[in-house]
Amino acid sequence: GESVGLHLPTLSVQEGDNSIINCAYSNSASDYFIWYKQESGKGPQFIIDIRSNMDKRQGQRVTVLLNKTVKHLSLQIAATQPGDSAVYFCAENLPYAGGTSYGKLTFGQGTILTVHP
Amino acid sequence: KAGVTQTPRYLIKTRGQQVTLSCSPISGHRSVSWYQQTPGQGLQFLFEYFSETQRNKGNFPGRFSGRQFSNSRSEMNVSTLELGDSALYLCASSWGGSSYEQYFGPGTRLTVT
């Protein structure tokens, strides 16, 4: 479904802690998932992506986990830093078939991450 | 390599006017998608262009239109502006074809008074 943004979930952590941000996606047919970080006044910044044929993917200090059984995605950030404070969005895309999914990411509502020094 | 650029960054318009926003994708990218971001609705897909053709369109009224040029630069136009059109308009570019990975520009902040 379409994203809603009235009340964003929040996560508050201490510097150095590990953070886990969760996302429930909407369409079981989605085959691509992506996490973005958006800082105030900026556009979303690509963090990491994963395809549906995988259940885990690691990047630098970040790990994405995909559970297709329950349509759940999570982003783990290791050793969280104050510079990680931002809004984090998950997004999904359907396979490119039939023309209704081209270039269309469907975004979750976002989670506000605050890291305290 | 330069990122996605959008112009102008900020815009103030009056109800009933029209506006044109511009997006230059990352060099080599042929797909441009446009999104509207508001506090109430979050990020919503407007449309996508690839090789000068609109391949996909979201659920927005016909007042929202776009186009893409042969150099992959894209414009979107909003006619007869309404107060509810105030938003951050984001464009994102990707290689196109079967590539899903999108890179976003900084956005254009449109305020309608």
Cα-based distances in Å from B107 to A90, B22, B41, B43, B103: 19, 10, 16, 12, 12
- Chain B interface with A: residues with Cβ < 8 Å: 4, 31-33, 35, 38-45, 48-50, 55-56, 58, 90, 92, 94, 98, 100-107
Cβ–Cβ of A44/B56 closer than 8 Å?
no
Q: Which one has a higher pLDDT value, B16 or A29?
A: B16
CB B98 within 8 A of CB B30: no
Residue A99, pLDDT above cutoff 90: no
Predicted confidence band at A6 (pLDDT cuts at 50, 70, 90)? low
**How many CB pairs (< 8 A) connect A and B?**
86
Cβ–Cβ of B42/A103 closer than 8 Å?
no
Predicted confidence band at A103 (pLDDT cuts at 50, 70, 90)? confident
Cβ–Cβ of B102/A2 closer than 8 Å?
no
Q: What is the pLDDT of residue A4?
A: 37
Interface test with A, best of B24, B43, B45, B68 (most A CBs within 10 A): B43
Instruction: Say whether B83 sits in a helix, a strand or coil.
Output: helix
Residue B65, pLDDT above cutoff 50: yes
Task: Tell me the average pLDDT across B13-32.
Answer: 97
CB B75 within 8 A of CB B22: yes
In 3-state terms chain A splits into helix, strand, coil percentages (rounded to 5) of: 5, 50, 50
Predicted confidence band at B2 (pLDDT cuts at 50, 70, 90)? confident
Cβ–Cβ of B105/A43 closer than 8 Å?
yes
Predicted confidence band at B80 (pLDDT cuts at 50, 70, 90)? very high
Q: What is the pLDDT of residue A109?
A: 92
Predicted confidence band at A112 (pLDDT cuts at 50, 70, 90)? very high
pLDDT digits (tens, 9 = 90+) for A17-43: 999 999 999 889 898 999 999 999 999
Round to whole Å and give the CA distance between A92 and A29. 10
In 3-state terms chain B splits into helix, strand, coil percentages (rounded to 5) of: 5, 55, 45
pLDDT digits (tens, 9 = 90+) for A51-72: 999 999 999 999 999 999 999 9
Residues 6+ apart with CB under 8 A from B62: none
Chain A positions in Cβ-Cβ contact with residue B40 (cut-off 8 Å)? 5-6
Round to whole Å and give the CA distance between B33 and B89. 11
Cβ–Cβ of B42/A4 closer than 8 Å?
yes
Cβ–Cβ of A104/B58 closer than 8 Å?
yes
Residue B37, pLDDT above cutoff 80: yes
The per-residue pLDDT of chain A, averaged, comes to 90
Residue A60 one-letter amino acid:
Q
Chain A positions in Cβ-Cβ contact with residue B35 (cut-off 8 Å)? 105
Distance of residue B73 Cα from the nearest chain A Cα, in angstroms: 15
